[in-house]
Amino acid sequence: MKKRLLALTMSVLMAASLAGCSKQLSNEYITVKQYDGLEVPKAEVTEVTNVDVENSINGRLSAAATTEEITDRAAQDGDTVNIDYKGTVDGAEFEGGSAQGSDLVLGSGSFIGANGDYKGFEEQIVGHNIGETFDITVQFPENYPDMANKVAVFNIKLNKISVQHVPELTDKWVKENSEKSKTVEEYKKEVKKELEKNNKESVKSTLQNSVMEALVDQIEVKKLPEDQVKDQMASIESYYQQMASVYGMEFEDFRDQMMQMSEDDFNKESKNAAETAVKRKLACELIAKKKNLEPSDKEYEKQIKEYAGDQDVKEFKEQVGEDVLKNTILQQKVAEYLVDNCVQVEQTNSTEEAK
């Protein structure tokens, strides 16, 4: 969780990383010892196969599935049933053995399968009708933690039966769901191009992250502006306050239970993350100035508009903060420069193990 705190903080504060240069850069706060030619693990674009394309299309078809509720027959394989169940062993309930309103696809193998003389959980629901309450008996497999080979009785109430209708990949479906393709073959090519683009973006992101990490060892700190560190720490705490509210928890409880951190640990990690964000920000500013990388006002506005998407740009600026957005865009441009000038190194097994 401590590593996650740092990673999430960098994302939330949009503090992109940098790397060093062949000549040192310095100001009153830091010295960047190197930013050109930083060594990073080699990242290669993965080839997109026909299997990848088929899997992606099948996922899209499944996402477009419609649900039909069944009321005139008993449950059968392939149906999705909604059930309440309570499990007991020797008449006593056990932890994790009960649930209300649980959805289960019969035949999926999600629940306990057949074992010895006992049929599987799912196959014993087949043939029952909506509203029925009945008992089934199953035997846990021998590798099941704490319940190995135990025989359990489940009392089940069948609430609903439904069927998922997954559409077929046809020219008609393609025309209705693609703005670029009209036939199945065209759609497969479209999906392949999308996957290839995603792979390239993934490699780009990986390289930027690697270069950002490499920067840490190339920055010497003289002192850091305390006001900026405090602002970053406040932003970090604000983010996790919001996370706590999403879970309906007080921040202290969220920190203790979900993050498993004491107040002292949280403050220490927040300060470390804030200081890292500030020194990277300062380094980016130095590199941008040295290499004339600072975007023009027009470039800033264009990028902010892309970030905003469908949201009103003015509202987006007010929500995120224009200074934060400009800092993000500047650091992104510096990160791209650093990737273009880094050295990708093949990773051996010994190198990977050393990490």
pLDDT, tens digit (0-9, with 9 covering 90-100), for 200-210: 999 999 999 89
What percent of the chain clears pLDDT 90, i.e. is strictly above it? Answer: 82
Write the DSSP symbol of residue 255. Answer: I
Query: How far is the C-alpha of 293 from the C-alpha of 157, rounded, in Å?
Result: 65
Please check the confidence at residue 354 and state whether its pLDDT lies above 80.
Answer: no
Torsion-angle region of residue 146: left (phi > 0), alpha (psi -120 to 50) or beta? left
The label of the residue with tokens 């674009």 reads: 45
Range scoring the smallest mean pLDDT among 72-81, 282-291, 342-351: 342-351
Average pLDDT of the chain, as a whole number: 90
Who contacts 26 (Cβ-Cβ below 8 Å, separation ≥6)? Answer: 32, 286
Confidence of residue 17 (pLDDT cuts 50, 70, 90): very low
| Widest pairwise Cα distance in the chain | 78
- How far CA 94 is from CA of 98, 115, 133, 296, in Å, comes to 8, 20, 20, 64
Cα–Cα distance measured from residue 317 to residue 226, given in angstroms and rounded to the nearest whole number = 25
Torsion angle in degrees (nearest 10) through CA of 232, 233, 235, 236? 120
In sequence order, what are the residues at sequence separation of 6 or more whose Cβ sits closer than 8 angstroms to the Cβ of residue 90? none
Contact criterion met (CB below 8 Å) for 238 and 47:
no
Give the up-direction half-sphere exposure of residue 197: CA atoms within 13 A in the CB hemisphere. 6
**pTM to 2 decimals?**
0.69
Strands 151-165 and 66-70: antiparallel
Q: For 112-115, which contacts have Cβ atoms below 8 Å and span 24 or more sequence positions?
A: 112/138, 112/139, 112/140, 112/141, 113/141, 115/139, 115/140, 115/141
CA distances from 132 to 85, 113, 129, 135, 299 (A): 12, 22, 6, 10, 64
Helix H or strand E encompassing 236 = helix 226-246
**CA separation for the pair 274, 101 (Å, rounded):** 44
Cβ neighbours of residue 255 under 8 Å, at least 6 residues apart? 240, 244, 261, 263, 266
Other C-beta atoms within 10 Å of 45: how many?
Answer: 12
Mean pLDDT within 221-236: 94
What value does the mean pLDDT take over residues 216-234?
93
Q: Which amino acid is it at 181? A: S
- Residue 9: pLDDT over 50: no
**Count of other CB atoms within 10 angstroms of residue 205:** 13
Contacts of 338 (CB under 8 A, 6+ apart): 18, 19, 35, 38, 208, 211, 215, 287
pLDDT at 1 over 60: no
Mean pLDDT (whole number) for 148-153: 94
Q: 224 Cβ partners below 8 Å, 6+ apart?
A: 29, 30, 275, 278, 279, 282
Nearest alpha carbon to residue 115 among 147, 72, 161? 147
Give residue 113's pLDDT band: very low, low, confident or very high (50, 70, 90).
Answer: very high
Residue 20 binned pLDDT confidence (cut-offs 50, 70, 90): very low
Report, as an integer, the average pLDDT of 157-167.
96
Position 47 pLDDT exceeds 50? yes
pLDDT (0 to 100) of residue 355: 52
What is the rounded CA–CA span in Å between residue 253 and residue 272?
A: 22
- Range 294-323 average pLDDT: 91
Q: What is the pLDDT of residue 215?
A: 84
